[in-house]
Structure 1
Amino acid sequence: MLEIKRATPQDACTAFDIRLQAIRNQCIGAYTAEQMALWTRGSAEDGYSALMDKPFYLGWLQGEPVVTGMLDLDNNEVGALFVLPAFTGRGYGKAMLDHLEHLARQMAIETVVLDATLNAASFYRSHGYVGDEQAVYHSPSGLVLACIPMTKRLAG
């Protein structure tokens, strides 16, 4: 059973590695090899570790971290939802998404937003997110990627 726990600063490298593996495995075909190389360069110390100060979570399966997710309270945004390649398709991404949405509801957030990667938009749609228009995501590191901005109303 998946156990979701708040990440600590010591989890930054682990979370970064899950992100790196997920992007390199699951974004093939949605983005160019050059985009993926730029997207996954560097290390957790290059800024990713700062995310551990936000409500950032790791999902653990029998002591192994397999999924990450974050709720950015400044923007009511779900983010950093990455699953290790060997664990995709087993419901761990959905479990993390459900956890983040539950937290948002507890904080009286009525609507959450996210920028879905092109390969993940159908996953989010299947879980109630709305959005079809392609836009451009500008990362803090200067990377520019196509994305699908999406929203989900949580409160009735």
Structure 2
Amino acid sequence: MLEIKRATLHDGKAAFEIRRNAILSQCIGDYTAEQMALWTRGAAEDGYSALLAKPFYLGWVNGEPVATGMFDLDNNEIGALFVLPDFTGRGYGKAMLEHLEQVARDLAIEEVVLDATLNAARFYRLCGYAGDEPAVYHSPSGLALACIPMKKRLSG
């Protein structure tokens, strides 16, 4: 079972490594090797840890961090949903997504948005998200990546 806890500033390195490993294993074929290398370069200390000031969560299995997820209050946006490769297919991504949606519901937010990576769009559709139009996500580091903007109306 996935135990979800609010991340602390000390969790930055673990969160960054989950992200890096997930991208490098799960985005093959949807993004070029060059894009993935640029997307995963650097270290948590290069600014990724700043995300932990937002509602950022780690999912734990037997004391090991295996999943991340974030809710951006400024934009009602779900992001940073990543699962370590050895832990995919076990429902941990869905559990984290449901947790983030509950965070939004607790704040009386009626609709959430996200930018799905190309490899994750099907997962989000299965979880009730709508959106098919391709767009370009511009990361804070300047990287441009194809994505699918999606949204979901939340019910109480």
1:90 corresponds to which letter in structure 2? R
Which of structure 1's runs of 4+ aligned residues deviate more than 2 A?
none
Asked if residue 142 in structure 1 is aligned to residue 142 in structure 2, the reply is yes
1:151 corresponds to which letter in structure 2? K
* Cα deviation code 1:59-89 (max 9, x no counterpart): 0000000000000000000000000000000
Distance (Å, rounded) in 1 between the aligned partners of 2:36 and 2:92: 23
Cα offset, 1:107, TM superposition: 0.2
- SS of the residue corresponding to residue 99 of structure 1 reads helix
How many residues align? The count is 156
Q: Which runs of 5+ in 2 are unaligned?
A: none
Distance (Å, rounded) in 1 between the aligned partners of 2:141 and 2:115: 16
Asked if residue 94 in structure 1 is aligned to residue 94 in structure 2, the reply is yes
CA contact (8 A) 1:109 1:155 kept: no
CA contact (8 A) 1:59 1:96 kept: yes
Distance (Å, rounded) in 2 between the aligned partners of 1:138 and 1:89: 28
* Cα deviation code 1:87-144 (max 9, x no counterpart): 0000000000000001100000100000000000000000000000000000000000
Cα offset, 1:155, TM superposition: 3.0
Distance (Å, rounded) in 1 between the aligned partners of 2:124 and 2:46: 28
1:37 corresponds to which letter in structure 2? A
Distance (Å, rounded) in 2 between the aligned partners of 1:51 and 1:138: 16
Distance (Å, rounded) in 1 between the aligned partners of 2:92 and 2:155: 24
CA contact (8 A) 1:56 1:71 kept: yes
Cα offset, 1:55, TM superposition: 0.3
- SS of the residue corresponding to residue 136 of structure 1 reads strand
TM-score (norm 2): 0.99
- Partner residue, 1:119: 119
1:10 corresponds to which letter in structure 2? H
- Partner residue, 2:133: 133
- Partner residue, 1:3: 3
Percent same amino acid among aligned pairs? 78
Distance (Å, rounded) in 1 between the aligned partners of 2:18 and 2:114: 19
- Partner residue, 1:24: 24
Q: Which runs of 5+ in 1 are unaligned?
A: none
- SS of the residue corresponding to residue 52 of structure 1 reads helix
